[in-house]
Amino acid sequence: MSLQISDLIAQMTLEEKAALCTGETAWTTSGVERLGLESAFVSDGPHGLRRVAVVPSLMAEAIPATCFPVAAALSASWNVDLAHELGQAIAQEAIDIHVDIVLGPGMNIKRSPLCGRNFEYFSEDPLLAGKMASALVDGIQSKGVGACVKHFAVNNQETRRFTVDAIVDDRALHEIYLAGFEIAIRESNPWTVMCAYNSVNGTFAAENHYLLTEVLRDQWGFEGFVMSDWGAVHDRVAGIKAGLELEMPGPSPDRTQAVVDAVNAGELDMATLNQAVERLLKVILRAQETPKGGGTIDVAGHHALAQRIASECLVLLKNEDNVLPLDGNERVAVIGKAAKNPVFQGGGSSHINATRTDSALDFLRQRSEVQYAVGDASVDLDQAAIDEAVTIANGADVALLFIALPESVESEGYDRDNLYLTPQQVALIHAVAAANPRVVVILNNGSAIDMHSWINDVDAIIEAWLPGQAGAGAIVDVLFGDVNPSGKLGETFPIKLSDTPCHLSFPGEQDIVRYGEGIFVGYRGYDALEREVLFPFGYGLSYTQFEYSNLHVSAIDFDLGQALQVTLDVTNVGEVAGKEVVQLYVADVESRLPRPVKELKAFAKVALEPGETKQVTLTLDDRAFMYYDPNYSQWVAEAGEFDLLVGSSAADTRLTTRVNLTEGTPLPSNIALNSTLNEWLADPEGAELAKPLLDKFFGEEESDSLGVDMLTFFQDLPLPQVLRFTGEDDSDKNPDEIVKDLVDKVHARSMHKIQA
């Protein structure tokens, strides 16, 4: 292929090269007919295909395709094998309806539950997001269809998404907002990456050389091409220089001409343009190796798969007195319009023309004696509808309340105003709960909601998310115990919006949003603030119970480069089969820079029959113990102790042990002229070399002269200024010269130790 690509580039005119870097239509790359180069077709994803029937049109009706559970739901399965299987099914449909590249998965971090597009994203945690995305990409690309991870990067809100500048510090950028992308890039090698609309620290993502070249390619080894989100490019030539190969949508003759003019004027090097063309051609030609089109979607088979996936995504949040599962003999009051007309996906570019749609009400009527009332057709208070619901609830053994956020609430393009259900829904829950002692709430939503006003009134809650076109069958299976719920939350549910760590800075002011909470996003923030939550990250109930035992680690004292194997036994001590998600968190006992209380570093989902025990093995590599140090612009690990916490959620630790990293990342000293006294004392070489000066200048009498500890008093003062405060004048060098000499000695010693 490489020879073919070099031949193509050699034969292409400047104008053809420039045109290739801009879409031919809203959904296709540019072809070169005289050279036999065909266009590649891209389609919206990520939980199914929105492949338009009329190609030039951006918003034309889409060809029917299977609507699978959204990413918010899929992440709650914590099942990477399931994500891989989903990717294969999406790829097969792509082949059937002629799609070369699927625009997904979306994997931005859920910084705030208000983000209108959260349903398209996996998690507040980068490890969970990265692992699920990697599995999905692997599944898609295993069949010869390209995947496109998006939106790179720091795209965590819809408010002013085209113009907002996300101001984020280096630690948060690398540890939270880039880490998931890094996992997906390194583990699954996606063919393409889509840049975000927003700016990151002052530079638009579409023209951000640091993100698109220094990080994505130089550090992570990305080999595919980068495309823009639709309409994200501001300066096309700057974009190519930064590492943005493809601008979408097309056609854009002015952009093509801008590239031609820049090359002719010497502003853009032809070698840079050729590199962009080469990257595009590699993917386009690779996509065409898999013939597309002419097939028929397996509607029934993929619908059944969508239901099976959804059944592992549902999270049982509450189950007082084991009101669930139902036994089928109850008289059931079914309330809520979502029971009849399901809400199973969000709005925007991912909205799929589903091949078929199931109704929970239809399935329930096949299982029990059912009466139905709409209850929440109105957003505002409708007492007559509530009264009707109360009437049927009074005569039932159990009331099932299907509560869905209105479809207009969660969508691409705008953020949510609050976490509340509608006034009608809240009033309905209260009224039905007063009328019936057994109330089950089934929720359809793409992110956290506020439940604090009604959670104590109901007996059971199922978080069903936006579960795709076959979600209704999965819900009914869980209600009756045909499927034991095994979903776990991929995001924290706060008690109220003001509890969220980013509350005071979301969505920012004007065109600036400051990520003031830094690395303390999601459970990391709630832990650090010691703030109670409604439901913690990783939480989910089952119809059975699991016990953890026999925790072992392959080594207590370990070195960098030595992976740790963590093994434990999990036993199903209940009476029904079930699946448990084992979560492993790491906590740094003592660190130089602030770190989260704990961080998810590994997980596994295990299926167990009643009474069965299985051994689970989890692996921790070097990165499990590292943080990003902005002083060195790299990931570092510090020698010392770490706690390993194994449990069923971020708030439910079952087993713990402590390990010791014998030696950390070897680092050169970063002592400089203006380093503070405290920084000198924290540096091993610096402390040793500075000690004679400090002993000379801070005698016991002088330390006591102001009634304070003088070393502590001066700890944040640069060392030259410290020396000036002492009044020392018996040296032939001034304080700056003295400290410069010490800095040189520190660096020489530091490098000698590293090289040794």
Can the peptide bond before residue 249 be classed as cis, meaning omega within 30 degrees of 0?
Answer: yes
CA-CA distance, 329 to 2, in Å (whole number)?
A: 67
For 377, the token pair is 């057709």
- Residues 139 and 87: their CA atoms lie apart, in Å, by 4
Q: What does 97-155 look like in DSSP terms, one character per residue?
A: TT-SEEE--B------TT-TTGGGS--SSHHHHHHHHHHHHHHHHTTT-EEEEEEETT-
Q: How far apart are CA 695 and CA 9, in angstroms?
A: 69
Asked whether the beta carbons of 101 and 146 are under 8 A apart, the reply is: yes
- Residue 327 CB: number of other CB atoms within 10 A? 9
DSSP string, 674-707: T-BHHHHHHSHHHHHHHHHHHHHH--HHHHHTTT
Catalytic position from the list 100, 138, 165, 229 = 229
Report the candidate in 93, 222, 75 with the shortest Cα–Cα distance to residue 153.
Answer: 222
Write the CB contacts of 257 (distance below 8 Å, at least 6 apart in sequence).
18
In order, the DSSP letters of 153-212 are: TT----TTTTT-EEE--HHHIIIIITHHHHHHHHHH--SEEEE-SSEETTEEGGG-HIII
- 574, burial (CB in 10 Å: exposed 0-12, middle 13-18, buried 19+): middle
Question: Token pair of 94, please?
Answer: 């792509």
Contacts of 555 (CB under 8 A, 6+ apart): 562, 564, 659
Element at 321 (helix H, strand E) = none
Reading the block at residue 77, the tokens are 């399965």
CA distances to 634, 664, 667 from 631, rounded to whole Å, are 8, 16, 11
Annotated catalytic residue 269 = no
Q: Phi and psi at residue 331, in whole multiples of 5°?
A: -85, 120
DSSP summary character for residue 374: -
Q: How would you write 209-259 as a 3-class SS string? A: HHHHHHHHHHHCCCCCEEECCCCCCCCHHHHHHHCCCEECCCCCHHHHHHH
The catalytic residues are 229
